[in-house]
Structure 1
Amino acid sequence: MRIGEVSRLTGVSTRLLRYYEEQGLLNPARSAGGYREYAEADTVRVRQIRSLLAAGLSTRVIAEILPCATGPLPALEACPTLLATLRGELADLDTRIDELTRSRQALARYLATAHAPTHEYAA
């Protein structure tokens, strides 16, 4: 099937499908005329990519773990680097959450101690 049909079936724009190809996440065949030809399995692959992106993974990490993915959700099989990669990503998320929590607390303190400006204008 052509890129437009994959876009329609998955709800992913043709621009994003091309980007996924550039990132090595999709590898459609090419017709004699140079058109991308996608297999049915590519629609599942696109759903896998979208699900992994929604989990906060980068396309670099997704490219690394995508061979471990099965089904559209996807389910992940324990490939050699999968667990270490996911543990590292989870640790990075925890660090970012801690940093954001500290930032939020600091902003809340500033807000709590801020005074509305008083303007006295002489008429």
Structure 2
Amino acid sequence: MRIGELSERSGASVRSLRYYEEQGLLTSERSPSGQRHYAEGSVDRVRFLRRLFAAGLSSRAIAELLPCVDAPSTRHTDEAWEVLLAERERLDAHIAELQRTRESLDEVIDANRRHRAGEHPHRCASVEAPDPRSTVWAGEAVQA
């Protein structure tokens, strides 16, 4: 399939597809006229890449992980294994932070519901403030 069709089917922009190819994350064959042609499996590959990018992984980290994805039965370096574990731990920490944020938001929503129902018209919700040194910004936890 050509790049426009891959873009449409995967949800990635043509520019992103070119970037993935530049970074060695995606491959294509070239026609005699120089047009890119992608295999059918490229749709799933691009969707997977997009999930990794959305999770906050860098193209460098993804490039280190792809050999483990592409050939999980072969022996990989200790460095690739460490990247997998570090990314997993980073995602777990981010998920935990998001869950704490959701719980705080749920408390505020619940207090607002009670207030609107007239249960406690003059009381404010008692919600534990998040650690001021930690915040979620652009998909990653940042310590101040």
TM range (shorter): 0.5 to 0.7
Calculate the TM-score normalised by the size of structure 2: 0.56
Instruction: Name the CA distance, whole Å, in 2 between partners of 1:26 and 1:12.
Output: 12
Q: Deviations over 1:45-88 (max 9, x none)?
A: 10111111122211111111112226xxxxx9476244311223
Matches within 5 A, 1:32-51: 32-51=32-51
Instruction: For residue 4 of structure 1, report the CA deviation from its aligned partner.
Output: 0.2
Count of residue pairs brought into register by the alignment: 97
SS of the residue 2:133 aligns to: helix
Q: Flag structure 2 segments of 5+ consecutive residues without an equivalent.
A: 98-130, 136-144
Contact 2:3-2:38 within 8 A present in 1 as well: yes
Which of the numbers 71, 80, 83 marks the counterpart of 2:81?
A: 83
1:72-115 Cα distance to aligned partner (Å, 9 max, x none) = xxxx9476244311223356675xx8xxx55249xxxxxxxxxx
* Identity fraction in percent: 49
Q: 1:30 is matched with which residue?
A: 30
Whether the 8 Å CA contact 1:3–1:14 is kept in 2: the answer is: yes
**In 2, are the aligned partners of 1:26 and 1:45 still within 8 Å (CA)?**
yes
Aligned residue in 2 for 1:56? 56
Matches of 2:90 and 2:54, distance apart in 1: 16
Q: Hey, what does 2:19 align to over in structure 1?
A: 19
TM-score, length-normalised on structure 1? 0.64
Equivalent pair of 2:68/2:76 in contact (CA under 8 Å): no
Equivalent pair of 1:52/1:62 in contact (CA under 8 Å): yes
Do 1:9 and 1:43's aligned partners in 2 also have CA atoms closer than 8 Å?
Answer: yes
Provide the C-alpha distance between the structure 1 equivalents of 2:84 and 2:42, rounded to a whole number of angstroms: 24
What CA distance in whole angstroms lies between the structure 2 residues aligned with 1:65 and 1:17?
18
Gaps of 5+ in 1: 71-75, 106-123
